Structure 1
Amino acid sequence: MDLDINTVRMARTRADCALRPGEAFLGGGTFLYSEPVPAGVTGLVDLTGLGWEPWSVDGSGLRVSGTCTLEELVAGPGALGAASGTSDVGSGPYRALGIVGECVSALSLSPKVARTATVGGNLALGLPAGSMAGLFAALDALAVVWTLDGGCREVPVSSLVTGAGVVDLAPGEVLREIRVPAATLGQRTVFRRASLTPTGRTAAMVTGRALSSSRLDGDVPPRVRLVLTASVPAPIVLELGPGEHGELDRLIDGIDASAWYEDTHGIPAWRAAMTRRLAHEAFEELGGTA
């Protein structure tokens, strides 16, 4: 690591988040420490000094701070999801969070990195394999962003990442928290992932949610929300009715061939084929059969 900077400031209040020339925000910093410092960056502002509560849950839903570490996400919301169970009969109150652990594991992190890397950092990087976008987009979450004028704005997580490494954050804006509405917390979710090797970077990922609390909701199979990530530069959200496997194929066929992501972890044609397979599996698990 060659971290060639001049200053590091610890932010204690929102006023401390006003960037000075040459400064950039620091969350966990695990990605920053693995890459050259971006050109022009001479100082860092550490957001962890703001002392945000990692996560909380109440009648309005789940809130996850931007500085919540991935370890804290698994130990908190992930544990709530695991305790709720995944049975098709009945519904645990936090059942949708059952995919939290899988989404974090998809990052192939060491425990040391998981203790430091943050939810906000993963989202703000906008990397195709950054699985927090797939997790929170499936949960219909909103990102709360602190704006430069002292206010805040909300952005659906599904549209926060707009391209490979491109996010809907203006210079100086801060990703304050992620809000998951209470209505989604008891719904069934699904996770599917593919990579070239068992421990390799995620090359295709599908997360999803049944848009009802139970598979047998008045004997009517639920509509399903699927989110495609890792194989594409930005999340693609699909919503399907019972039995619409043909529609799912049509929607995937409609993705422009040039839109499939390519790097050393998978060629576009393979990523597209794997995404199709995973999407059908996820759809079926969530009640896609009429």
Structure 2
Amino acid sequence: MDLNTVRDVRDARSHEPWRPGDAWLGGGTYLFSEPQPRLRRLVDLSRMGWEPVTHHHDGSVEFAATCTIAQLSRHGRRSRVRAAPLFEQCCRAFLASFKIWNMATVGGNLCNALPAGPMISLTAALDGECLLQAQDGSLRRVRVADFVLGTGRKDLGEGELLRSVTLPARALASRTAFRQASLYGLGRSAALVIGVLDEQDGSLAVTVTAATVRPFRLWFPLPPDRSGLQSALEAAIGDADWFDDIHGLPAWRRHMALRLAEEVRRELTTDGAR
């Protein structure tokens, strides 16, 4: 789609002052999908030269905001960490063609802050941390689970940039379980639940996305039984937190999220018969 209100596109390396009507341009798959009447200038990040995937000495892995879904998928298929299958599972949760895969970025998916964003699901479940950069160059970090505040809302100041997302080594070494539900085949995710079992201390994290307006990541020092998990989810997720659109009513999303959460609990625990 043509953005007929945009008058200029500048290279992000030029460091010009931020002004009203500016927007960061990563892959552009969302920006060019619908009218953006408030925009006057795009600040293009494509020439920043950020390495898509960086492996750190402590075992953590950092993904640049400009890392594409195709690059993330290739990383997941080559990786030998225990949680590697989760990367491809979340990439496949996109309602997108291969052309979109080669343009859409990890950072763009997070910053759109849509409930069905599978990069939100992936990075929140693995306890990811966002690196944010302000216009003055100052940096701050915030957990992905706290970065997305609601549908289309995120913890970003005016002109602030999501630079990267880092996944800790401990989460990458954990066992994972993935469940997704849609109203129809190859449809947009209406409920997506990921379980992460830390085999070092036996703790379990269950993350609910797509069914809710923001990610909910519940951590248990020891895996709960069925009723304990359901009670914790119902206490954490209020009635207003269940998402409502043409892809699923809140009551159905709630039912599916609780059902899928129990499935991942059973898959990851040895006492799943409880």
**Fold in common (TM above 0.5):** yes
Q: CA deviation at 1:64?
A: 0.2
- Shift of residue 108 of structure 1? 1.8
What is the match of residue 43 of structure 1? Answer: 41
Deviation by residue 1:151-182 (Cα, 9 ceiling, x = unmatched): 10000011110000000011100100111112
Deviations 1:127-161 (A, max 9, x none): 00001111011111110000233110000011110
What per-residue deviation string (whole Å, max 9, x for no partner) do you get for residues 172-207 of structure 1? 001001111122221111211000001111000011
Q: For 1:49, what is the secondary structure of its paired residue?
A: coil
d(CA) in 1 for partners of 2:12, 2:169: 31
Correspondence for 1:8: 9
Quote the residue 2:103 is aligned against: 116
1:157 aligns with 2:138: no
Task: State the 1:277 CA deviation.
Answer: 0.7
TM-score, normalising length: structure 1: 0.88
Match of 2:226 in 1: 245
The secondary structure found in structure 2 opposite 1:183 is helix
CA-to-partner distance for each residue in 1:53-89, whole Å, 9 max, x for gaps? 111213221010000000000111x1234xx3xxxxx
SS in 2 for 1:101: helix
Measured in 1, the distance between the counterparts of 2:38 and 2:54 equals 37
Does 1:278 find its partner at 2:249?
no
Return the letter of the residue paired with 1:202. S
Structure 1 unpaired stretches of 5+:
85-93
Unaligned runs of 5+ in 2: none
Residues in 2 aligned to 1:116 and 1:169: alpha-carbon distance in whole angstroms: 22
Aligned equivalent of 1:74: 73
The answer on 1:180 being equivalent to 2:160 is no
**1:154 alignment partner, SS class:** strand
Deviations 1:209-267 (A, max 9, x none): 10225xxx8xxxx2210110000000011123234221111123222222210000000
**Alignment match, 1:89:** none
Corresponding residue SS for 1:249:
helix
8 A contact 1:243–1:289 mirrored in 2: no
Identity of aligned residues (%): 41
Say yes or no: does 1:131 pair with 2:118.
Answer: yes
Of 234-243 and 166-175, the range deviating more from structure 2: 234-243
> Alpha carbon RMSD of aligned pairs, Å?
1.5
SS of the residue corresponding to residue 251 of structure 1 reads helix
- Give the Cα separation in 1 of the matches to 2:41 and 2:123: 30
1:97 aligns with 2:84: yes
Amino acid at match of 2:61: L
Are 2:8 and 2:42, in contact at CA under 8 Å, matched by a contact in 1?
yes
SS in 1 for 2:46: helix
Note if contact 2:209-2:216 (Cα within 8 Å) is conserved in structure 1: yes
Paired with 1:167 and 1:64, the residues of 2 have a C-alpha distance of: 19
Q: Distance in 2 between matches of 1:251 and 1:29?
A: 38
Q: Could you tell me whether the CA contact under 8 Å between 2:174 and 2:197 is conserved in 1?
A: yes
